[in-house]
């Protein structure tokens, strides 16, 4: 298994191109099931999760071409196989996003339950209840969601989500485009990836109002057609490189990153003493002086993203003073804490809150993590640490960070991949 070796202590400086967002690309690819296409997605990142979604869509009978040099994904054809098997779904939870489109278009779907993962139990009850409100009949048997639309069609409805869910909003939004009549999604997630999906669906011919708000109205029954759509830049990748500039005391220009997509991450970084400036090509992030501890609580967008919590914690390990970090989205998203502590961090945690007391310096160590953002938080810690850090289980990073070691090396990090 590949590992990453870092020799820390070098301030990073230069330009980092921000890739298309994994969490936008995955639902956008699933939207390819709604039309014969082709749906052409530009600014497509080269990531393990994109390869998994490609495999799943091909399994359903679609043609998917990923031109990595041109950074485009072309998706065409109509599903001939309506089952999403456990073998693929277990690799990536976002596979469940094929449920709404398959059911809405073909009147039936059988999708493996995704199960939990390292960060929490992650049920899909909101996806299922929402589809039932659109008229679907759903049973769970042998670990599969068996869904049927009576008469082959879903019917529009008013769905009030009891809790904000990114994935459930996406599944329901896609299904509603082909349902008969009007659907209203109330307390919908407002993440930029949802707006990106809605914009793409509009380009395909869907009628959606309220984009960017927590109330989406969809006039269903449209026939969706071919479209070309650019995938929004990855705000979590941008936030991660912002932390890389900050933790090393350097300056990075994040090409393509957008301030409005960082939500409160930019405000918190400024509170911690980091300059975040918007330019016409992206964001410039600079740390001139010392870092200060600043508290955060994760929340749905535009609040502080849970997908930035581990990276921010790495930053706070070397800030002056203490910071309290509270995770409200996932029940088990502190798996990076013991590994950061092995590098000399001072962290106490109880339940959903961690108190981080900054230390002057971390020290390099062999570490490993069990999920994507925890893994990258260890890379950040390694960039700031004295000596050598080896990050094991690099495959987690490959799920969501395109060419992470090449991008970091190009701005001055001493980092290399050690083939396993």
Ligand X SMILES: CC(=O)N[C@H]1[C@@H](OP(=O)(O)OP(=O)(O)OC[C@H]2O[C@@H](n3ccc(=O)[nH]c3=O)[C@H](O)[C@@H]2O)O[C@H](CO)[C@@H](O)[C@@H]1O
Whether residue 398 is annotated as binding a ligand: the answer is no
For residue 400, the partner it binds in ligand X, ligand PEP, none, with Cβ less than 5 to 8 A by kind, is ligand PEP
Residue among 35, 79, 94, 384 that touches ligand X (CB under 6 A): 94
**How far apart are the C-alpha atoms of 237 and 401, rounded to whole Å?**
7
**How far apart are the C-alpha atoms of 128 and 148, rounded to whole Å?**
12
Residue among 19, 23, 112, 392 that touches ligand PEP (CB under 6 A): 23
End-to-end CA separation in angstroms for the chain = 4
Residue among 11, 115, 120, 181 that touches ligand X (CB under 6 A): 120
Token couple for 381: 């810690």
Q: Among residues 198 and 365, whose Cβ is nearest to ligand X? A: 198
Q: Among residues 149 and 337, whose Cβ is nearest to ligand PEP? A: 337
Q: Which of 146, 206, 210, 213 has the alpha carbon at shortest distance from 176?
A: 206
**How far apart are the C-alpha atoms of 413 and 241, rounded to whole Å?**
12
Residue 117 a catalytic site member? yes
Q: Which of 194, 193, 188 has the alpha carbon at shortest distance from 216?
A: 188
Query: In sequence order, what are the beta bridge partners of 228?
Result: 40
Whether residue 415 is annotated as binding a ligand: the answer is no
- The rounded Cα 150 to chain-centroid distance in angstroms is 33
Task: Please give the helix or strand (H or E) that residue 273 lies within, else none.
Answer: none
Query: In sequence order, what are the beta bridge partners of 372?
Result: none
Report, in Å, the least distance between residue 225 CB and ligand X. 25
Q: Among residues 23 and 43, whose Cβ is nearest to ligand PEP? A: 23
- Gyration radius of the chain's alpha carbons: 21
Interacting residues of 347 by C-beta distance below 8 A, sequence separation 6+: 313, 317, 337, 340, 341, 354, 355, 356, 357
For residue 372, the partner it binds in ligand PEP, ligand X, none, with Cβ less than 5 to 8 A by kind, is ligand PEP
Contacting ligand PEP within 347-386 (CB under 6 A): 372-373
Region near ligand X per CB under 6 A, out of 136-144, 161-169, 336-344, 409-417 = 161-169
Q: Does 89 bind ligand PEP (CB under 6 A)?
A: no
Q: Cβ-count burial of 203 within 10 angstroms (0-12 exposed, 13-18 middle, 19+ buried)? A: middle
Report, in Å, the least distance between residue 266 CB and ligand PEP. 19
In the DSSP assignment, the letter for residue 193 is: H
Whether residue 194 is annotated as binding a ligand: the answer is no
Q: Cβ-count burial of 350 within 10 angstroms (0-12 exposed, 13-18 middle, 19+ buried)? A: exposed
Q: Which of 298, 320, 253, 341 has the alpha carbon at shortest distance from 119?
A: 298
Site pattern 327..356 for ligand X (x: CB under 6 A): --xx--------------------------
Q: Does 91 bind ligand PEP (CB under 6 A)?
A: no
Q: Among residues 105 and 235, whose Cβ is nearest to ligand PEP? A: 235
Whether residue 148 is annotated as binding a ligand: the answer is no
Contacting ligand X within 186-215 (CB under 6 A): 189
Q: Which of 412, 420, 419, 341 has the alpha carbon at shortest distance from 7?
A: 412
Residue number with the smallest Cβ distance to ligand PEP: 307
Report, in Å, the least distance between residue 70 CB and ligand PEP. 25
Q: Up-side HSE of residue 227: CA atoms within 13 Å toward CB?
A: 23
Whether residue 129 is annotated as binding a ligand: the answer is no
Q: Indicate which residues carry an active-site annotation.
A: 117
Binding residues for UDP-N-acetyl-alpha-D-glucosamine: 93, 122-126, 307, 329
Question: Which spans of this chain sit near ligand PEP (rule: CB under 6 A)?
Answer: 23, 93-94, 117, 307, 372-373, 400
Question: Which spans of this chain sit near ligand X (rule: CB under 6 A)?
Answer: 23, 26, 93-94, 120, 122-127, 163, 165-168, 189, 306-307, 329-330
């Amino acid at each position: 298994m590949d590992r990453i070796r870092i020799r820390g202590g070098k301030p990073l400086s230069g330009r980092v191109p921000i890739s298309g967002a994994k969490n936008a690309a995955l639902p956008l690819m699933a939207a390819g099931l709604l039309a014969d296409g082709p749906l052409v997605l530009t600014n497509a990142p080269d990531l393990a999760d994109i390869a998994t979604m490609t495999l799943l869509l091909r399994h359903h009978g679609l043609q998917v071409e990923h031109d990595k040099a041109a950074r485009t994904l072309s998706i065409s054809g109509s599903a001939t196989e309506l089952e999403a098997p456990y073998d693929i779904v277990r690799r990536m939870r976002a596979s469940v996003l094929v449920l709404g489109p398959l059911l809405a278009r073909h009147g039936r779907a059988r999708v493996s339950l995704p199960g939990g993962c390292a960060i929490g139990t992650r049920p899909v009850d909101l996806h299922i209840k929402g589809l039932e409100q659109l008229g679907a009949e759903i049973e769970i048997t042998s670990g599969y969601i068996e869904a049927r639309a009576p008469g082959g069609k879903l019917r529009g409805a008013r769905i009030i989500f009891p809790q904000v869910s990114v994935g459930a909003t996406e599944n329901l939004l896609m299904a509603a485009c082909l349902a008969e009549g009007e659907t209203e999604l109330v307390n919908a997630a407002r993440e930029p990836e949802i707006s990106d999906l809605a914009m793409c669906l509009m380009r395909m011919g869907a009628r959606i109002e309220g984009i960017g708000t927590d109330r989406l109205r969809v006039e269903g029954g449209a026939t969706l057609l071919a479209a070309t759509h650019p995938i929004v830049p990855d705000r979590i990748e941008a936030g991660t490189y912002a932390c890389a500039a900050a933790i090393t005391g350097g300056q990075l220009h994040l090409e393509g990153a957008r301030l409005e997509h960082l939500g409160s991450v930019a405000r918190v970084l400024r509170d911690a003493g980091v300059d975040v400036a918007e330019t016409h090509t992206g964001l410039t992030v600079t740390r001139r002086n010392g870092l200060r501890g600043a508290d955060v609580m994760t929340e749905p967008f535009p609040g502080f993203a849970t997908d930035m919590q581990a990276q921010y914690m790495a930053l706070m390990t070397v800030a002056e003073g203490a910071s309290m970090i509270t995770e409200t989205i996932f029940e088990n998203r502190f798996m990076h804490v013991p590994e950061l502590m092995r590098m000399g961090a001072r962290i106490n945690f109880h339940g959903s809150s961690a108190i981080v007391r900054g230390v002057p310096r971390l020290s390099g160590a062999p570490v490993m993590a069990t999920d994507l953002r925890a893994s990258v938080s260890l890379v950040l810690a390694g960039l700031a640490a004295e000596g050598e850090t080896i990050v094991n289980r690099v495959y987690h990073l490959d799920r969501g960070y395109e060419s992470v070691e090449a991008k970091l090396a190009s701005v001055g990090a001493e980092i290399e991949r050690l083939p396993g």
